[in-house]
Structure 1
Amino acid sequence: MGTPAASLAKARRRFEGADWVRWGVLAVPALFAMPSARPWTWPLIALVLVLSVPALWLTRESRPRWLMPATMIAVVAAAGALWILQPGSWTATTMFGATFYTLRVSGRVGAAISLAVASATILAWSIIYDLDWLNAVAFFAVLVVMVLLAANRRSRAERLEQTELALARAQTASEEHARAAALAERARIARELHDVLAHSLAGLALNLQGARLLLVRDGASEESLAQIERAQKLATDGLAEARKAVAALREDAVPVERSVSDLLAAYRLDTGSRADLVIEGEPRELDAAVGTTLVRAVQEALANSRKHAGGPALDVTVAFNNDEVDLTIIDHQGRRPPEPPSPGYGLRGMGERVALVNGKLECGPGEDGWRIHLAVPA
């Protein structure tokens, strides 16, 4: 058995597929009228054939909405006139069929006009050709049947639309319920990670920092200090990863200033040196590529300071201006560093990242250390 959605789609295809016969109902009788057509009826035949062409693609939802009803009313009038002028043809079928489709696709005004035109045509035909009252009533009965059939089709179409809407609402509600349950579970896991793992790693990193300072004071061996430093680095790296996991689980975009602050906190724990952050302007949410560029620049600068300068004191400034964000990183080595023979891979990668977001990068030795400045569009 198929799903409700599949069954509904099949019913709609079958329902809409029947509408393709309307062109045949409108055009074929006019074609049959051509062999016996008289000179004054050819314009009406041509008009019916031309007006029946849009029925191949026009629907109730076609824009503008008046186009389909207006076309069908014109077909009713033209086919009715052709039926009166050429009574032996089948163009009455076209008139009744066009009336049926007008009642299906139009509002009250269009339906009233179509019924009035069709009724006037039947009355005129009955008077001109001296039709007895029984046959005249039969024609009007056919018109009533068209009204009932159109009402039935419109009712069925409305039921299909209501069923589709109800099914869509039920599916949306089910998806929202599942999403809410998933988000609640992710939030619970994020809380556990933050309250247990992240706090434990932060405490471990601080204790390892204290242990390293004690070993330095007591003159411990280089091997012991190296082991403590490695353990401290693992703790700080694990803390950073735990925070990233919490942010990912909560689907929250971590602000740039928060990410930079976390990096500097890890740098302080790792090196024992000062690392200050200054925020200028009003922080705001940035494009993901821009935020990633700023955070990666700070990461690269901190890695270079550890590697090449032994972890000196740092000053980092993030300035939120009107149309750009400026990032300045200065490490204080106590002397002017020499010019490097060529930029390393880290600085090259930083420059490529900045170029991808149409930013500008300046880096080089300052008075007492290395200075990196970049500006990226906000």
Structure 2
Amino acid sequence: MRLGVSLAALGGIVYGINAHTPGFGLHGQALALLICVVVACLGWLVRTVTVYLDNQHRTLTATAAGGALVTAGGLLMSIAPVPAALALAGVGAFTAAVELTPALATTLTAAGVLVAAVGTATINHQWVAFAGYSAGLVALTLAGFNRRQYKQRLVQAEQLLTQTRIAAAADTRAAALDERTRIARDIHDVLAHSLGAVAVQLDAADALLEAGTGTPRARHHVQRARHLTVDGLTEARRAVGALRNDAPPLGDQLSALVADHHNDAATLTIFGEPRPLPANAALTIYRTAQEGLSNARKHAPGQPVTLHVHYHHDNVAVTITNPTGTTADGSALGATGGSYGLPGLAERATLLGGTLTAGQDATNWSLQLWLPT
């Protein structure tokens, strides 16, 4: 389609030149006219196929086509000042301005004006026609520069759109990875606390049964393991609720957690004015309290545990403290459970801009969490 339109336009221009001039011939001015038209046709055809070439060859062909057209147009202007002369030279200048560098395109336009000026001075001396020809050639060159900038803006817009899509895809992947990491932490917390606590009770029961004494106590540990299993299911439901941002108030969760500490004495004290917290912050506080109570149950069973929550105007501080102790029955119950509880909590706190520290002095073990709100 494009090639057909281009050839039809060229045919119309050649027909117009032949109709408004003495015509083509093999002698004198008619021969010069024929040569100009042949050169212009060659340049026009080269210009037409330029769009199908790669960038490396396009520069060469656009230069050749522009040079042939502006030269032929300038000579034609000198021989027979007709509109077709400006049409040929103008197409060459416009193409050069779009395809070539501004310096090279300007050079070709200047060369076309120079050829027309020399021809006008030596052949027809029609300076008014030359002035109109030169102004039209410059105007078409400027139009080509405008078209070039428009194409560059389109390319830049497409590149920006592509980069935006890539960035959006990267953000989506990062968000999905963060969500998978969050879910992995919650699954770990549920399994570590429920199954770890069940393992503690079953190990205690096994130790008592193996010793052949304390059958009622062993039965108590088995019942306790069953209760912890039920609690694990509740924890799983709570984790799903937290993932859906549909968890109960933090104070109620902590109260239930302390009440569930059973035979181990645990107290909850809240300082400041409680307020709703972001879901991630509330879940991190709950998991920290859960980890602290679970560790106290494993490493210092029967010892009092204090859970303090301080609401400040721009942060929340949580402290879980219990005396150091040893596990009951001489068994290594403290070794049960996962080893990722505290590192996972520390990672949670860091992601929220907070800190988590744990350690012990001569008499007490403490776990401290600080989160901005």
Provide TM-score, normalisation by structure 1.
0.42
* Larger CA Rg, structure 1 vs 2: 2
